[in-house]
Amino acid sequence: MKPIITTIGSATRDIFLMPQKNTVEYFKDKDNILSQEKICFELGAKLEADYLSSHVGGTAVNVSIGLSRLGIKSQIFSTVGNDSAGKAVIEKLQDEKVETNLLYISNNDTDRSLIIIHPKTNDRTIFVNKIARKGTNIDYSKINSKCIYLSSIKYDWQNNFKKIIKLIQQKKIRCFFTPGILQVKAGLSKLRNLLKLTEIMFLNYDEAIEITRSQKKELKFDKLKNTKIIAEKIKNKGPKIVVITDGANGVYLYRNKIKYYPVKKSPIIDVTGAGDAFASGFMATYLKKDSLDKAVKNGIKNSKSVIKNIGTTYGLLEKRQLTIL
């Protein structure tokens, strides 16, 4: 049986670091709408860490595993290096029953991330080093699933997106999309051809502000009205549904109108992978033709489970733990 969905994006080896509370300072820069919260360390110091470990991660990995655990036959389309990190990624995916036949092995190192978790806010800052795919020629025509979940592509991403658009059109594939750093910085105009073919677009509130080039003078209302302004800009470019996550502040869904879903407070250790967990919980429900309300609620439940752990796949729920048809 062919997979229902193929996840396209990153596969990484993540190093998680939680410094001791007295080694890191936190402050706010209210004048910078895109970078309001900052942390800093003493330059030249040797500092203690409360936690330091490595895990398998990357958006394509996280979402494919999340979907597989929830009963959706998934496949990953990504690249890893021929190294110990790449082997760890493959072993994890196979243990989770994710198809790896379209996982490319390159001569470069596997992508890596350093994730610094702030010990007081439990939010994180991520440093990425993506080189696995550099110089690799990718053949998208091998994808033969009903759906794709497209996330970050670094190298030559515009030409790669053109190939993916052609694939979607030729094979009539349903497209779910979450933009990466480069796509957010590029803005909506450079994504318009893909967005016209996108069924659901997922992004967080900060990404939504940046990708729409929204300015402070536009965002002078309350959070719901602000999000409606931003979501309308995105939806007008093509996606049928826009989902904007805002961490502990809740989730916004825009189809014909804006709808807000609050999130009850829960324990947080590490928010890394929360968006991927939300997307897999949402899509697993949505692909079973259940309601959008239930899809959002299952996405939130999956996300809240992940943030109780360090690592992006620890805590991902299984089908019996969610109300999925």
pLDDT in tens, 17-35: 888 888 888 777 777 666 6
75: pLDDT confidence band, cut at 50, 70 and 90?
very high
Residue 10 scores a pLDDT above 80? yes
CB atoms within 10 A of CB 230: 25
Summary mean pLDDT of the chain: 90
**Residue 287 lies inside a defined structural domain of this protein:** yes
**Residue 171 lies inside a defined structural domain of this protein:** yes
Residue 49 scores a pLDDT above 70? yes
CATH number of the domain residue 126 falls in: 3.40.1190.20
102: pLDDT confidence band, cut at 50, 70 and 90?
very high
Q: Rounded mean pLDDT of 84-103?
A: 95
217: pLDDT confidence band, cut at 50, 70 and 90?
low
262: pLDDT confidence band, cut at 50, 70 and 90?
very high
Residue 135 scores a pLDDT above 80? no
What pLDDT score was predicted for residue 253? 98
Q: What global pTM score does this model have? A: 0.90
pLDDT in tens, 267-306: 888 888 999 999 999 999 999 988 999 999 999 999 999 9
Cα–Cα separations (whole angstroms), residue 201 to 56, 124, 198: 25, 23, 7
What pLDDT score was predicted for residue 35? 67
**Residue 194 lies inside a defined structural domain of this protein:** no
Q: Give the gyration radius of the chain's Cα atoms.
A: 19
CB atoms within 10 A of CB 94: 12
What pLDDT score was predicted for residue 51? 85
**Residue 141 lies inside a defined structural domain of this protein:** yes
**Residue 164 lies inside a defined structural domain of this protein:** yes
What pLDDT score was predicted for residue 255? 95
Residue 215 scores a pLDDT above 80? no
Helix (H, G, I), strand (E, B) or coil at 55: strand
**Residue 82 lies inside a defined structural domain of this protein:** yes
118: pLDDT confidence band, cut at 50, 70 and 90?
confident
**Residue 239 lies inside a defined structural domain of this protein:** no
What's the order of all strands across the beta sheet hosting 241-245?
Answer: 103-106, 74-81, 5-8, 147-150, 174-177, 198-204, 241-245, 251-254, 258-261
**Residue 70 lies inside a defined structural domain of this protein:** yes
Residue 63's domain comprises 5-177+264-317
What pLDDT score was predicted for residue 96? 96
Cα–Cα separations (whole angstroms), residue 164 to 16, 77, 86, 189, 264: 32, 12, 24, 17, 38
Q: Name the phi and psi angles at 71, rounded to 5.
A: 85, 10
> How many domains is the chain partitioned into structurally?
1
Lowest average pLDDT, out of 61-70, 80-89, 131-140, goes to 131-140
Residue 213 scores a pLDDT above 90? no
Residue 325 scores a pLDDT above 60? no
